[in-house]
Structure 1
């Protein structure tokens, strides 16, 4: 039996827990930022690949979406493994595996082989699993009433997608295609080393009794709350990931932007969502995750329909895209602020990994749908954007069925 006291397990009075909170949260967020940059390095260069290999819209969408698929599916076992081995080990392992894969993408991308590049992008998807590591890692460092803050701040690591969209095309222009991939690979490897040397797992995590991974995953799938939050997160985070990866292609096809100009605007979109995410987590702690999620989904549905009609002037569609990013960011923070409330404490890491996987899968399919429903005659994505609005409305209705969504978590009541 563990000797950890209830106070220590809850994190309410343990000085060691409080002392390590901010440092480990910042390091985990930086690790996520670097991992997300590597994970989304293909998207900003999609136009380059499409021109070099003469890809159509569907092939480009498959290429862009491939890392998202793997990064999503493998979040489930990675989340469970984080419960067992801790975030320090898992961050180090995943980033250590990612660094050489970035180099592989750089080499294969010069061969102009669509099949080889898709295969390399498939394996690169492992970088996206850093999210499933950070949620239980950061959550374990914070008290129950501050878990929304912790997961919201960690979620700001999504800024790696903005960094990728903004810097990757510029680095390619400045130091070359292969030089860019070498630079990113070195950064990822250095971050893996930093994680091993400086990260520390929470005393709460250390006090856990390790459990077999597969039974934990199986049990998590039997819980209704797992499926409810999966659907909600698949819409809000999936839409964010889809736009962050596919927006350069969208802006090229609809408005004729080149890679650098499209990357700059995509970076702005991602940055707005990143800024909003911790705000969503904080608001979830204060007013309840349901209110935050409902506001997010309502705004997303309305704005998706506005975008579907393709406003012709950037002074119109630019702010609309930024507002959509803000609403999606609020939703990602709000939904993950719900996990610590609605999920059993012993299953937070596993369920968090499953929900993170659902979010990633939510980002995998939209680019494929956008590519398949794209109308080249009038450069229209009306069908895909209408589907987004419809799923946002369905999710809004579903949010009223999830427990512990109010201002006070029922488990905190006397």
Structure 2
């Protein structure tokens, strides 16, 4: 499953830099970009309530929120391949600087037009591609035995979505409707300067010379690519799905107040974010396959328990937090697996495809859960399907994936 043959230019000249400094600055950039990427999600219900975008249906709001996420997920394919070629030292400042444009456009011009907001959200999706920049950049700075931890720490930058959830509405209502956008634009600009000054590509980075289209096609044919896409679609996709849909589920199925449901969702997100680097570290010590297998096994049990509608204060809370830990660690372990079996010059391309699969995987479960609930008045079937999906992914991990991992 390891592929190393690829036409490359001579390696990039050595550069000065400390790996942990590079990791810290890259993680900061990931968090800042994800903060920007998630700006529209908390504001969707407020736009509908205020009516400045016209009369919006639930599907209108869902489309508004979904556009940046879908574009950011698919955009990772191209940005990951560009990072292999240009390096993170160029791509991190570029992605951050370009994201300023849609943030200011939305804040200054789009808040009175639904279709202008959709257009701004489309370009805002660029912020979500930062993930595909950071993984190959960080991976190249660390030796193989530490890449799981390093990429896991970088992945914790997905907590930028929590920053948006906790601050955007408060800033919008307290300081004015342009405030969150001006603040995020300023932070993005400051980060772009910081990244350009501090970041350096790893010494000896291999620069591919094969044309972009051929590299993408070759990357898509690698066994690790489609295997990791499936693993990440369940692990990270499950995290995204719960972070989007858990408040609605808790309000509907357990009659919680919106504030209580949001707080519990925040707890779920925090556990998943913390466990992502833990999953990478455990993968360095014990291998990614045992970590992945354990995580999917926990999801099998947790989803099955949740499907029985247990008491939330006891069994239900444990089930959901256990799934958060499992999905977070599984997300970290997936990229520890990618780092272990992929040629370094192709990590960006693989990361782009896998990251796209994870982001898109988060949209299927909420749509499915909502569809089933609308026809059965029950979430049990949807949670049962999650348990079955995790069981099939566990089987894939223990058979096909395990065979391809070098001892």
Shorter chain as denominator, the TM-score bin is 0.7 to 0.9
Map 1:18-97 to 2 at 5 A.
20-52=18-50, 55-97=56-98
Verify the 8 A CA contact 1:62 1:368 in the aligned structure 2: no
Q: Bigger shift: 23-32 or 207-216?
A: 207-216
Verify the 8 A CA contact 2:152 2:279 in the aligned structure 1: yes
| Whole-Å separation in 1 of the counterparts to 2:44 and 2:316 | 22
Cα distance, 1:169 vs structure 2: 2.7
Map 1:182-331 to 2 at 5 A.
182-205=182-205, 207-255=206-254, 260-311=259-310, 313-331=312-330
Compared CA separation, residues 371 and 60, structure 1 to 2 (3 A): farther
* 1:205-259 deviation per Cα after TM superposition (whole angstroms, max 9, x unaligned): 2x53544221111101111221111111111011112222333444444455566
Match in the other structure for 2:5:
none
* 1:109-138 deviation per Cα after TM superposition (whole angstroms, max 9, x unaligned): 63263x443333222211111000000000
Match in the other structure for 1:394:
392
Q: Bigger shift: 138-147 or 174-183?
A: 174-183
Please say if 1:111 is aligned against 2:112. Answer: yes
Map 1:312-351 to 2 at 5 A.
313-351=312-350
Cα distance, 1:350 vs structure 2: 1.0
Q: Bigger shift: 313-322 or 61-70?
A: 313-322
RMSD value, Cα: 2.7
Map 1:357-376 to 2 at 5 A.
357-375=356-374
TM-score (norm 2): 0.88
Cα distance, 1:358 vs structure 2: 1.0
Q: Which runs of 5+ in 2 are unaligned?
A: 1-7
Q: Bigger shift: 264-273 or 42-51?
A: 42-51
Cα distance, 1:191 vs structure 2: 1.3
Tell me the number of residue pairs that the alignment of Structure 1 and Structure 2 aligns.
396
| Whole-Å separation in 2 of the counterparts to 1:51 and 1:301 | 38
Please say if 1:167 is aligned against 2:167. Answer: yes
| Whole-Å separation in 1 of the counterparts to 2:187 and 2:85 | 27
Cα distance, 1:152 vs structure 2: 0.7
Verify the 8 A CA contact 1:163 1:267 in the aligned structure 2: no
Compared CA separation, residues 312 and 377, structure 1 to 2 (3 A): farther
Verify the 8 A CA contact 2:87 2:137 in the aligned structure 1: yes
| Whole-Å separation in 1 of the counterparts to 2:318 and 2:165 | 18
| Whole-Å separation in 1 of the counterparts to 2:181 and 2:255 | 26
Cα distance, 1:268 vs structure 2: 2.0
* 1:64-112 deviation per Cα after TM superposition (whole angstroms, max 9, x unaligned): 3222211111101100100000001111111111122123333566326
| Whole-Å separation in 2 of the counterparts to 1:148 and 1:386 | 31
| Whole-Å separation in 1 of the counterparts to 2:252 and 2:99 | 31
| Whole-Å separation in 2 of the counterparts to 1:51 and 1:62 | 16
SS across alignment from 2:374: coil
| Whole-Å separation in 2 of the counterparts to 1:218 and 1:371 | 35
Compared CA separation, residues 48 and 251, structure 1 to 2 (3 A): farther
* 1:112-169 deviation per Cα after TM superposition (whole angstroms, max 9, x unaligned): 63x4433332222111110000000000000111111111111111111222222223
| Whole-Å separation in 1 of the counterparts to 2:169 and 2:241 | 19
Verify the 8 A CA contact 1:36 1:158 in the aligned structure 2: yes
Verify the 8 A CA contact 1:236 1:359 in the aligned structure 2: yes
TM-score (norm 1): 0.86
Match in the other structure for 2:3:
none
Match in the other structure for 1:133:
133
